[in-house]
Structure 1
Amino acid sequence: MAAVVLLLGLVLAFAGVGPAVAAPGDAPDTHYASVGLTEVTPSTVTSSSGRTVTVRGRVTNTFDRPIHDVIVRLQRAGAVTSTDLRTVLGADPSVYETATDFEKVVSDLAPKQTADFSIEVPLSAGGLQIGQAGVYPLLINVNGTPDYGGQARIADSRTMLPVLSLPADRARATRWVEPGSGGSEQPLLGRDGSVAANDTRPAAFTFVWPLAAPPQQAAGTLGGETADIRLISDDLTDSLEDDGRLGQSLEALETVAGIDDSGADGPDEKVRNAICIAVDPDLLTTVSSMATGYTITDDPADPDAATVDGDGESTARRWLQRLTRVASSMCVTALPGAQAGLDSLERIGNDTLSNMALSGAYDTVDAILGVHSVRGITLPAVGAVSADARKLLVGRDGSDTAAVITTSVESDGGPRTGSALLGRYTSGGLPVQTYDPGVSAALGGLGGRPVTPSFLPEWQRTGLTGESEVSRRQTAAASLAFPMLDVPSPTGDDDSAPTNVTGRSAFTMAPTYWSPTAADARALLDTAGLMVASGVADPVPLTDVVSGLHRADRSADLVVPGDVDRLTAEGYPLSSKDLVEVRRQLELIDRLQDSFATGHELPFTPAEYLNPLRADILRAVSTPSTTNRAVALVERPQRLTALGLTLTHMQQSVSLLDPSGRYTLASERSPLLLVVRNELSLPIMVRLDITAPEELSVGDGGVLEIPAQGTRQLQLPTHASNSQPATVRIALVTSNDVPLSSPVDLSVYANAYGKPLFWITIGAAVILVLLTARRLWHRFRGEPDPADEDRPEPDEHERHLASTGYQQRLAAERVTDTDEREQPDPGERE
């Protein structure tokens, strides 16, 4: 079937696209008109919904000339028997073989004019000729005659119609056979020609509802509420508004939870219990931080770039309060943090980071929303797990199973029995739950911002913007019902031949960044509720899925989804260059965390202070979606650059205050005085790495604690062996040897004599002692000292002074001074 669809796609691709008028069976020329559906009734055909289908819509003339004789009809293709639910809508119109009669819409349609239409056709004879359950593609074919041209198909719209059961029909009643009569029996066919729903083997229905956004926090902001977060733009605020993507998604969830203001009855409790919200913890932390204030940076690569205050605090606070209310009444689980790529995490090989992204994601969701989330299952955004990523998950507490698309596993091809009926397999010790990529793609088309998941091959993608919201909503609801409707296989052997049923499993996961509205939610709930009420589906809570995965008894290999680029399937893992840088940054973060002091009454822990930097790495390895892939590849180097700058700034924030010049020691053992400054918000343990010449010994002081946002004066013991100037280099490092700031070079001068001066002093003392002894020796013997032989004899005055005492000599000197002052100046006598 895939090959047929591919061939049809190629035919379409190479068909003529010129402005020439097309034949009624050819593709429409989009230059003429557009058509949008406004209603499909019934949205799901049942035995009680009536014998007709009504389609209403609106045709708009997009041509610059009038269009005449506008007519419309319905066409249908055969029941979908493959998982390419979106692809079949892009197939050649010739596959829509069954057609009804044309009905007139309007005689003349002027340029830009719009005309409404309503077409009602029988389900069976004379109409769509549907005779069994299934999902049927519909084509709304609008023809007309453009001015100065011939009749052509001017527009078309495509959607799907799910058929659960069929009302009574005389033509089918003729084929009814009395049970046990020996004829060809059709168990689902009633005596009156009605076709009942097949509830003999209900599908296991579980719905995972992602609630996420591409990462918006700019990198490089430390935690502990030391600074407002910085966003790369204010797009998230716009998304959180009531008319934004996340605002409308939350309104849709309020509909699911039965707490909206529409006044409609809430969903069936069994259906609601089978729906689980998968929240991205990075989205929660960002919105929670926005509620207390945030800024928007001019340059995401520079943590010190100029910022402006954001004005979405109240919007974020209100959105988070509403989500908390919804989460209190529903199942909640967690997506990997920031949608981090599993292959990137495996290559990095950091357990702290991996735990933060996987098992830690549940803790974040629980803390912010006040819930007990369902744990044990990993939901990768790429819909696949590679053999390398499998190593990351096997045996990991809290995330040791995964949900992947069916095309990413390759089973042994045996009959679908046991766990395979539920789409559950085990691969290399990793239990996996499969889900249909076609259903996910159809769900991605909901809302005003349709998205195509990255795991869908290019050739299977169809345009979504040309379809109305009603058309895409109808397609999504039909796709949701698709795995629950048991359509007989082409060979009639349900156990061995390929069927439209994905392992009898209706496990469903929407794309990560889908955008459903409240109306979309009601359509999905109505469809699921109808399937459950009819018995063709059995609602299974996610907790039961997780516990049942460990009992999977069917092995399968993990493969790259068909026709999907390997890099896309792996979530664009880190390049070799970026991998080296990330590992270096993580090692530095871990060592800095270990160097912070503990045991104090601190406002936050070292982990809380540095975990935002680890979260920056998770955002850097976030899996890019098909809509933001180019942006994400630009953001990755920006985040790594900003993170590197912040780590460098942290190292420079603990520094020695440089005396900036000569440092003189009072003695050879005077201490060296230094001041260490810590500008970080936590106390840190540091030590000094000192390089000094042999003549100057400087003690390092051991491991020292520097207070947060403070300084500490250090006295380093020194011993100088000489008075020569010495250059001492002092580097500051953490207790585990992380370099901090730049080394300081000190020119140290010491008032120390050194060994030569020491021996000179000793020699002088010895000589003094000898000379003194010599003089005393001669005096004791009454002999004149030979050293006095050249001294002149004293006069009378000197002998007189030598014979008087101290007080007499002092009095005599005073008299002499008085006489000299009383003598008149010779100049005055004249």
Structure 2
Amino acid sequence: MTPAFPASRAATTTARAVRDVAARLVAALILLTLVGAPALLPRAAAGEPGTTQFLKISIDGVTPEIVDTAGGPLVTVTGRVANVGDRSVRDVVVRLEHADAVAASAGLRTSLAGAGDQYQPVADFITVAPELNQGESVPFTLAYPLRSNAGPSLRIAEPGVYPLLVNVNGTPDYGAPARLDDARFLLPVLGVPPDPSVEPTDPVSAVVPPDTSRPVQVTMLWPLADRPRLAAGVPGGTTPVRLVDDELATSLAPGGRLDTLLSAADFATSPPVDPDGRVRAATCLAVDPDLLITVNAMTTGYVVVDAPDAGLAGATVPGTGQEAAVNWLGRLKTLAQRMCVTPTVYAQADLTALQRVGDPGLASIATTETADVVDQILGVASVRGATLLGDGPLTGPAVRLLSQREPTVAVAAPQYVAQDSTADDQPDADLAPRRYGPQVVTAPFDPTVGAALAGLGPKPASPSYLDSSLEVPLQHDSQVARRQDALAAMLWRGLRPASEPRTEILMPPVTWDLQPDDAAALLSALGTSIRAGLTAPRPLTAVIAESLATAPAVDDPLPPDALGNPRAQISGAVTGDIASANSRLWGLTSALTTDERTGLTGTQYTAPLREDMLRALSQSVPPDARNGLGEQRVRRAATTIDDLFGAVSIVNPGGSYTLATERSPLPLALRNDLPVPIRVRLDVDAPPGMTVTDMGQIELPPGYLPLRVPIEVHFTQRVAVDVALRTVDGLQLGEPVRLSVHSNAYGKVLFVITLSAGAVLFLLVGRRLWHRFRGEPDNADLDRPKRRDADPDFTPAGARSDPLDVAIAHAPDDE
């Protein structure tokens, strides 16, 4: 029997069921519409995906990397879409989009970030996965011709640099269809191949070569540098050399970063690959002297410290890169014999911060003396007259520092800001030489090109000189996409016949991290552009000469004091500590001399500590870590400097001195624990009544030196004498010593008493002799016993015989 329900309840249930069915039908219709017509999905801006990322798209390959007339008509883009969110995504679709050729150098960066309104679809969306669960990924391939009248194409009709974008859409669970990610890159087109959809005899299908009537004079600087590796606070002459880590062993070994850079340059400029030597003429090795010093020291064996700030007292383990250092340095010496070599700023020190330190000697080591280091270690004559700023901006303080040195051409990025306007209205970076007084001329390089080169490799970075309006999210792009951006950027000016000037310097970051494929692609592109007539080699020597000759006669106003990334600036605390420590170090160095036994000079002994100050200002360190690592290095070096001052001292006797006479010398002993002699002076704080003879300048050899300090004392008492040891310039060495001195000297009183006693004695002896010769008894003899007549020589027992009486008794009788 079926239970009966009230009529009202039954009606309510029926109405609710109808509404549920209707809602489900509407949702199904909407879903079918979206799935069935993916091409109708709205395009969104590149930055439109929210903070919660569901999909990530990466570019794995672009074929060809550089389009030319000899290649095929298709451009193939391969990649992968991965679900990186917290839920499944349905209806994953991708499509390729393109934009017009980059018209201004700012577009080399701005087209890779920000709004994507300039991009237009090449074709409809293609479904790559009906559903993509968490952690899953799916590959995709998109291939389209550059131009075609028969179907979708990139619509590229002339050479240039073209931005491309791969757009991915999908519907996350509990969400609506949306654009979930995109990947962008630049496609350099040196020449347009024939249109495959047109008959070969049709003029429309003819190739479009580049305009080579005005080739760009190009100079490529190829850096060989590393972040500072020598342990801080270790003076010269310390063996084996101490490193903070053993990463150089890996970097110098086959396949390592520095090996990759050296091998690529060696291969690309070798006679079989570069028979006419034009790539070699356009390329110059930019070598950091600090790296050369470190690698050269590694060749004789080294150790790695457990703690970077442990100094000489820290525990160490043997290094493993001695053989790799020997091989790498030998190959570099061979390569340097046949191509241009120029030094970078020592340890890539920040010249703006170095100017605040205010030490001319340190500035000379960082700039003008670097070539001497390169020449000595590599055995070549390096190119002088250029100052390379591969990471930091050329600021007003940096110009003032260089103005106090020898004449130089500063290779630096100019200030360049992307404007909020269309690409046609955006000017290019100003690459015209500038003059800042008689000593400094600039040879600018395009900051957008430098930033593209800095984005290469597994550890991309934005240079400190780059304005924030030109920054792009480097970590979002794949390594292949960033390589495309770099290739396009270095070829862009050659593909723009109207751009001025027709010169270009390719300046990568000094500490460059490249994979072998990246290095080979760049140097191959350089050779391709030269052989295609887009560029022509311009040696660095020509850059220096032409910049000096073509710079305006009128001086430009100095650049602003603060430029570039504020996070990359060295703090005033670090520069202040450097100035204080370095001042003391110069004072000590001026007092040191040469050890004739070993040949070690004072300058050589303290040189690593001065170089530590420059390493503390290195721009090779990531911006967020510069101040922390700089403070650590300066603190360690300052501690060692204090130890060096304390190593020269006066030996404290721990007791008291007793002076026998008023002119007795004061004995002292000096101790020198340094491996080189030092010129010192004694500073004796004598009390009143004590005169100390100045011993002048004393050369104190390593070990102990006993001294006898001439003094004159005019009192008799115990006094305290303070003795300090100082350099010839007055800097205190060691700790002062307080001596307890007791003098027995009586001075003038003792002299008067002595003279008076002598006078009285002389009178008494004279009086006695007078009476004896006259035969008169002396009153002094009245209390003496009578002599016995029988024995004139008899002397009573216990009585003393007077020699004068004996002489008189035996005198002959005149009668």
- Shorter-chain TM-score: what band? 0.7 to 0.9
Higher mean C-alpha deviation, range 360-369 or range 693-702: 693-702
Partner Cα distance (1:325, 1:663) in 2: 67
Classify 1:598/1:296 alpha carbon distance in 2 versus 1 (closer, same or farther; 3 Å): closer
TM-aligned CA distance change 1:407 to 1:784, over 3 Å: closer
**Which residue in 1 is equivalent to 2:146?**
123
Structure 2 runs not aligned, ≥5 long:
1-37, 419-428, 800-815
Does the 8 Å CA contact 2:659/2:744 hold for their aligned counterparts? yes
Q: Give 1:308's aligned residue.
A: 316
Q: Is the 8 A contact 2:98 2:154 kept in 1?
A: yes
Separation of aligned partners in 1, 2:171 and 2:509? 41
User: Is the 2:93–2:168 Cα contact (8 Å) retained in structure 1?
Assistant: yes
Assess if the C-alpha contact under 8 Å between 2:567 and 2:623 holds in 1. no
Trace 1:585-624 onto structure 2 (pairs within 5 A).
585-598=581-594, 600=596, 602-623=598-619
Aligned pairs for 1:3-82 within 5 A: 24-26=42-44, 27-28=48-49, 31-63=53-85, 66-82=88-104
What is the SS of the residue equivalent to 2:311?
coil
Return closer, same or farther for 1:24/1:39 CA change in 2, 3 Å cut-off: same
- 2:569 matched residue in structure 1: 572
Whether the aligned pair in 2 keeps the contact of 1:256 and 1:267 (CA below 8 Å) is: no
Using the alignment, how far apart are the partners of 2:331 and 2:595 within structure 1? Answer: 38
- With over 3 angstroms needed to count, the CA separation of the structure-2 counterparts of 1:590 and 1:366, relative to structure 1, is same
- Which of residues 747, 751, 770 in structure 2 aligns to 1:754? 747
Letter in 2 for 1:542: L
CA distance in 1, matches of 2:396, 2:228: 26
Match 1:656 to one of 640, 650, 654 = 650
Q: Distance in 2 between matches of 1:150 and 1:349?
A: 61
CA–CA distance in structure 2, aligned partners of residues 292 and 599 of structure 1: 22
Which residue is 2:757 aligned to?
A: 764
Structure-2 change in CA distance of 1:806 and 1:319 (3 Å):
farther
CA deviation digits over 1:468-496, x for unaligned, max 9?
A: 22111111111111111126xxxxxx4xx
Equivalent of residue 329 in structure 2, options 320, 345, 354: 320
Identity over aligned residues, as a percent? Answer: 38
Cα deviation 1:427-446 (Å, max 9, x = unaligned): 33322111111111111111
CA distance in 2, matches of 1:46, 1:533: 12
| Pairing partner for 1:539 from 533, 537, 555 | 537
1:788–1:684: structure 2 CA closer, same or farther, 3 Å change rule?
same
Q: TM-score, normalised by structure 2?
A: 0.82
Q: Distance in 1 between matches of 2:756 and 2:137?
A: 120
* Contact 1:699–1:717 (8 Å) recurs in 2: yes
Question: What whole-Å deviation, never above 9, does each CA across 1:239-291 have from its counterpart, x for those lacking one?
Answer: 445565445444444443459xxxx9568731232122212111222233234
CA–CA distance in structure 1, aligned partners of residues 643 and 614 of structure 2:
21
User: 1:717-736 counterparts in 2 under 5 A?
Assistant: 717-736=710-729
Which residue in 1 is equivalent to 2:28? none
CA distance in 1, matches of 2:357, 2:562: 22
For the residues of structure 1 that align with 2:288 and 2:557, how far apart are their CA atoms? Answer: 25
Q: Is the 8 A contact 1:245 1:449 kept in 2?
A: no
The match for 1:275 is 283
- Distance change (3 Å), C-alpha of 1:111 and 1:696: closer
- Equivalent position of 1:389 in the other structure: 398
Q: 2:490 is matched with which residue?
A: 480
Q: Does 1:89 align with 2:112?
A: yes
How many residue pairs match? The answer is 740
The residue aligned with 2:221 is 208
8 Å Cα contact 1:203/1:538 also seen in 2? yes
CA apart distance, 1:43: 1.7
- 1:226 aligned partner, one-letter code: T
* Contact 1:343/1:571 (8 A) holds in 2: no
Alpha carbons 1:437, 1:455 under 8 Å: kept: yes
- Residue 411 of structure 2, aligned match among 403, 406, 420: 403
Distance 2:659 2:558 in 1: 73
Contact preservation (8 Å) 1:574, 1:621? no
Determine the C-alpha separation between the residues in 2 that align with 1:44 and 1:741: 67
1:712-737 deviation digits (Å, cap 9, x = unpaired): 22222333334333332222223333
Residue in 2 that maps onto 1:256: 268
What is residue 671 of structure 1 aligned with on the other side? Answer: 665
1:223-238 mapped onto 2 (5 Å cutoff): 223=236, 225-237=237-249
Q: Distance in 2 between matches of 1:646 and 1:809?
A: 78
Q: Distance in 1 between matches of 2:483 and 2:798?
A: 128
Secondary structure of 1:643 counterpart: helix
**Contact 2:567–2:624 (CA<8 Å) still a contact in 1?**
no
Letter in structure 2 aligned against 1:451? A
Q: How does 1:422-437 map to 2 (within 5 A)?
A: 423-429=432-438, 430-437=440-447
Q: CA deviation at 1:132?
A: 2.1
- The answer (yes or no) to whether the contact 2:217–2:503 under 8 Å persists in 1 is yes
Once the two structures are superposed, residues 751-779 of structure 1 have per-residue CA deviations (whole angstroms, 9 ceiling, x without a partner) of 43432232222222222333333344444
In 2 relative to 1, CA 372–765 (structure 1 residues): closer, same or farther, beyond 3 Å? Answer: closer
In 2, distance between residues paired with 1:237 and 1:524? 25
Deviates more, 1:511-520 or 1:583-592: 583-592
**Shift in Å, 1:201:** 0.9
Note closer, same or farther for the CA distance 1:808–1:751 as it changes in structure 2 (3 Å cut): closer
Aligned pair in 2 of structure 1 residues 234, 591: CA closer, same or farther (>3 Å)?
same
Do the aligned partners of residues 302 and 53 (structure 1) sit closer, same or farther apart at CA in structure 2, a change above 3 Å counting? Answer: closer
* 1:176-225 per-position Cα deviation (integer Å, ceiling 9, x unaligned): 9xxxxxxxxxxxxx7755322111111111111223223233332111x2
Does the CA-based 8 Å contact 2:570-2:627 persist in structure 1?
Answer: no
Offset, 1:680: 0.7
SS of 2:627's partner is helix
Q: 1:529 to 1:806 in 2, by over 3 A?
A: same
**CA displacement, residues 569-616 of structure 1 (integer Å, 9 cap, x when unaligned):** 7963562x6555434433333332232234945422222112112111
- Any conservation in 2 of the 1:230–1:296 contact (CA below 8 Å)? yes
Report whether the alignment pairs 1:158 with 2:158: no
Distance 1:518 1:267, change over 3 A: farther
Give yes or no for contact 2:91–2:130 (8 Å, CA) kept in 1: yes
Write the distance in 2 (CA, Å) between the matches of 1:454 and 1:589.
31
CA contact (8 A) 1:382 1:569 kept: no
- The within-5 A match list for 1:355-366 is 355-366=364-375
Q: For the structure 1 residues 110 and 384, does the alpha-carbon distance in structure 2 shift closer, same or farther, using more than 3 Å as the test?
A: closer
Q: Which moved more, 1:149-158 or 1:615-624?
A: 149-158
Q: Which residue of 1 aligns with 2:809?
A: none
Moved more, 434-443 or 729-738: 729-738
Structure-to-structure mapping, 1:390-539, within 5 angstroms: 390-394=399-403, 396-397=405-406, 400-407=408-415, 423-429=432-438, 430-486=440-496, 494=498, 501=499, 503-539=501-537
Post-superposition offset of 1:453: 0.8
TM-superposed CA distance for 1:80, in Å, is 1.1
1:449 positional shift: 1.0
CA distance in 1, matches of 2:194, 2:180: 36
2:568–2:626 Cα contact (<8 Å) kept: no
In the alignment, structure 1 residue 347 sits paired with structure 2 residue 356: yes
- What is the RMSD of the two structures over their aligned residues, measured on CA atoms? 3.6
Q: Pick one of 69, 76, 100 that aligns with 2:123.
A: 100
CA distance in 1, matches of 2:483, 2:315: 41
Structure 1 residues 717, 566: closer, same or farther in 2, change over 3 A? same
Where does residue 696 of structure 2 map in the other structure? 702
CA displacement at 1:154 relative to structure 2: 4.0
Match for residue 164 of structure 2 among 138, 154, 157: 138
d(CA) in 1 for partners of 2:619 and 2:76?
42
- The one-letter amino acid of 1:520's match is D
Specify the code of the residue in structure 2 equivalent to 1:90. Answer: A
| 1:804 matched to 2:797 | no
Residues in 2 aligned to 1:366 and 1:456: alpha-carbon distance in whole angstroms: 32
1:670, distance to aligned residue in structure 2 (A): 3.0
Does the aligned pair in 2 maintain the 1:421–1:505 contact within 8 Å?
Answer: no
State the match for 1:3 in structure 2. Answer: none
CA distance in 1: counterparts of 2:65 and 2:668, whole angstroms: 80
The answer to whether the 8 Å contact 1:341/1:571 transfers is no
